Structures are given as structure tokens and as C-alpha cells.
Structure 1
Amino acid sequence: MIQLDDVCFAYDDRPILSHLTETIEPGQAVLLSGPNGSGKSTLLRLLNGLIFPQQGTYTFDGTVITAGKMRDHAYSKWFHQRLGYVWQNPDSQLFCSSVREELAFGPVQMGLKPEEIHQRVDDALELLGLTRLASRPPYTLSGGEKKRTAIASILTMNPQVWTMDEPESYLDADGLAWLSDFLPSLKAAGKTLIIATHHADRLASLVDKEIIVGDA
């Protein structure tokens, strides 16, 4: 499904990803590990077609992902329906005027029927404990509520691949307990999980493969 071949990326000539070659198979749970600044977030951005290799290739489902390919609106739309991205800071992800609109945005872009959108949103609101907050603007929520809204906004799109940057950040104890049940349920449903975290111990029973980013 995902193939990285000799991928390199640098910021201002400072190497971040250096000759990275990896394969991620459908249904795998993959841990991205490494210290702060090692390139975990950069790799997630690259996987989501937000930045592109400066050397080497990134192939998704047989297609090499380039800036030119992502300018193809039809392909880009399909691609972003297949990959969901939970950002480390939910403020980087949330932009709609209410939690309900936030959860509906992706399914609307997918062209789903109104009744299906409504059902997906209601199901996600209930699952994430957000029903009472459905009409609230995201900027008025607590950090944990924002993070759950961000996760719910990906859930309503039901992507095949979930990429997550520190999914446990901003969550309280109840949120962490919920996440520890949610991630195995995604894997059991056949989803591919690619997770950057500093808390690998919480994922020990879930992970099939570890990619050490920034490893010399």
C-alpha cells in the first residue's frame, strides 16, 4: 500500500529524513519513534501529500505521490478520502463554526447523501462523547474536547489509513482510556495505523512494525 524508496527531505539544508526506505502493508499498525525533531511529524506530512520527497519516491497504492499529482483535483480528493490525518495540535485541524459542522465537513466533500452524513456525524458525536457539544464552536472547547473533535472529524470520513501525530496529547485520563480501546478497534476493522508517539508502551500490544525516524 505504502512504499518509501530512498526518501530524503531537508529544511534549509538541514536533513530531516535521510534515505528512508520502508514498506507499510494494508492493515498494519506502525509506530513512528524517535526524539523530538527527528522527523516524525515531517514523515506524516509527507505521507499525507502535504510535502514531497526532495529525493526518492513515495508510492501510495501504486501511484507515485508528487506535487503535480496532488494538483489533480480528482486524484487529490480520492487520496484524502483514503488517508486521515490527526494532527498533534487540534487547533491546526479544526476550522468550522461548530463541532457538528466540523464532523460533517469531510463527508460533505466526499459527496455522501445528507442522511448518511447525518448518521455518521451522530454516531461519531456519541462515540466520542461530544453530543452535548455539537453546537459549540471548536475554539470554545477544552484541549481534550478539541482533540476528540479532531479524531471524530476523521472518523466520519472512515479512511482506510489513519495517520496520527501524538494522538494522546491533550487527552485526560478518560480520553486516554477511550483511545486505548479505539485504536485496537480500528485495527480489528482492517485499518492501517501509522502513529507517532513518545508513549510506545501504550501501543506495545498493537504495533506490528516500528520505524525509527532519524536513526543514523
Structure 2
Amino acid sequence: MIILDDVCFAYDDRPILSHLTETIEPGQAVLLTGPNGSGKSTLLRLLNGLIFPQLGTYTFDGTVITTAKMRDHRYSKWFHQRIGYIWQHPDSQLFCSSVREELAFGPVQMGLPSEDVKKRVDDALELLGLTKLADRAPYSLSGGEKKRTAMASILTMNPQIWTMDEPESYLDADGLTWLEDFLPSLKAAGKTLIVATHHAGIIQKIIDKEIFMKS
């Protein structure tokens, strides 16, 4: 369970998150909406332990998430196995020398046996139509291919919670059709989805809750 209690966050004294109180239950599909600059990306970064409330608290499965808590390597590793983050711009997420290595990085860090890593990678490559690109460097891919690689790199880690910042960006028509099928399949598998998007149609059919972010 995710609990945000009176959370505030500002950049250079400019309030972005202002007294935000929300509860997200396991298995819910949550839509984040609001104009540009309203704090959707900031909230996703906070949920992933990249920034922290300046006032209020963020509680994840009974633990208050703080700078000190995320410095605990053991806890941080567990936390990042539970929650995955699809960045709006895939170049912010990709850093390995090949697509295959990108997809294997997370499972290897989790300490999975090599045969399990290979199976997860091969399955994700096939599911996202990346098999022919497995040995390509991510920087050489198109925007849509990069976005699918970023999604596949989270899929191989199989987190319980998926946080997504405009997952539709860079995808072509075929990619959007695939995404509209993929998100319900995640929910059907019991995953929690927290999606920031200007195109609510990609998740509209499965939304349990909408959080409107005011500018």
C-alpha cells in the first residue's frame, strides 16, 4: 500500500506538490492527470524514492520513505525490485551497450540465476517485438524502439508496482495499440499501475482512481 500524507515539495521555493494526501491500494490502476507543470512527474519521482517530501510523509508498505532509509542498500535494493519506473524520455533510462544487456541488468542485480535471467530477457524481447534488435546499442534505436526497450527492462524485473510517465510518448500507432492491450494485462496479473498521461484512453477501461494534479 502507498500512503501520501500531507506531502509537500517545491523547486526553488516554487510549490509543486502542495499538501497531497492520497492512498493507493494494491492492484489499483491510478491515472494521474493535470496540465504540464502540475507535478505529475515530480510525484512519480517521489514514489520511486528519487526525491523526498519536504513536508508530510510517504509510506510504502508500512515504511516511511526517507533519504536515510534509501541509503540503506539492502532496503533500497528491495524497494527498487518492488516498484518500476518508466521515464517519459527513454534516453534517461537506457545506459547499457546492447538491448539484451539492458534487459538483463535488473535481473542480474537481483541475483537471479543465469538461466532465469536468460528466460526473462528472451520472453521480454519476444513480447515487445525486440528480438531482432537484441544486439543493437540502445542509442542507435528509434524513439519508439527505445521506449519499448525501456518497458522491457522493467518487465524483466517483474515489479509489483508500475509507475509510468507518459508511456505513450514516442510510440507509433502500432505501439499504442500494443500498449492499450499491455496495461490491462498487467492489471489482470495483479499489478498496481500509476500512470501519468495526457491520453487517458490508453488506460481508461481499467482505471480505479484518478488523481488530478493542479498547477
> What TM-score do you get using the length of structure 1 for normalisation?
0.99
Helix, strand or coil for the counterpart of 1:37? coil
- Paired with 1:130 and 1:142, the residues of 2 have a C-alpha distance of 12
**CA-CA distance at 1:203 after TM superposition:** 1.9
Helix, strand or coil for the counterpart of 1:205? helix
Per the alignment, residue 110 of structure 2 pairs with: 110
The amino acid across from 1:93 in the alignment is: Q
Describe how 1:1-216 pairs up with structure 2 within 5 A.
1-214=1-214
Q: Deviations over 1:55-93 (max 9, x none)?
A: 000000000000000000000000000000000000000
- Paired with 1:53 and 1:155, the residues of 2 have a C-alpha distance of 28
For the 8 Å contact 2:176–2:202, the answer to whether it is kept is: no
Helix, strand or coil for the counterpart of 2:7? strand
**CA-CA distance at 1:206 after TM superposition:** 1.1
After TM superposition, the runs of 4+ consecutive aligned structure 1 residues lying more than 3 A away are none
For the 8 Å contact 1:165–1:197, the answer to whether it is kept is: yes
The amino acid across from 1:64 in the alignment is: V
Q: Gapped runs of 5+ residues in structure 2?
A: none
**CA-CA distance at 1:214 after TM superposition:** 2.2
**CA-CA distance at 1:146 after TM superposition:** 0.1
For the 8 Å contact 1:33–1:196, the answer to whether it is kept is: yes
- Paired with 2:44 and 2:62, the residues of 1 have a C-alpha distance of 19
The amino acid across from 2:121 in the alignment is: V
The amino acid across from 2:135 in the alignment is: S
The amino acid across from 1:151 in the alignment is: M
The amino acid across from 1:40 in the alignment is: K
Helix, strand or coil for the counterpart of 1:59? strand
Q: Deviations over 1:138-168 (max 9, x none)?
A: 0000000000000000000000000000000
Q: Percent identity?
A: 84
Q: Gapped runs of 5+ residues in structure 1?
A: none
Alpha-carbon RMSD across the aligned residues, in angstroms, is 0.6
Helix, strand or coil for the counterpart of 1:129? coil
Helix, strand or coil for the counterpart of 1:95? coil
**CA-CA distance at 1:202 after TM superposition:** 2.9
For the 8 Å contact 2:179–2:202, the answer to whether it is kept is: no
- Paired with 2:191 and 2:144, the residues of 1 have a C-alpha distance of 24
> What TM-score do you get using the length of structure 2 for normalisation?
0.99
The amino acid across from 1:123 in the alignment is: D
- Paired with 1:210 and 1:179, the residues of 2 have a C-alpha distance of 19
For the 8 Å contact 2:98–2:138, the answer to whether it is kept is: yes
For the 8 Å contact 1:57–1:64, the answer to whether it is kept is: yes
The amino acid across from 1:175 in the alignment is: G
Aligned pair count reads 215
Helix, strand or coil for the counterpart of 2:105? helix
Helix, strand or coil for the counterpart of 2:206? coil
- Paired with 1:45 and 1:107, the residues of 2 have a C-alpha distance of 22
- Paired with 1:138 and 1:100, the residues of 2 have a C-alpha distance of 10
For the 8 Å contact 1:18–1:214, the answer to whether it is kept is: no
For the 8 Å contact 1:99–1:137, the answer to whether it is kept is: yes
Helix, strand or coil for the counterpart of 1:5? strand
Helix, strand or coil for the counterpart of 2:214? coil
**CA-CA distance at 1:213 after TM superposition:** 1.4
Helix, strand or coil for the counterpart of 1:7? strand
- Paired with 2:99 and 2:46, the residues of 1 have a C-alpha distance of 27
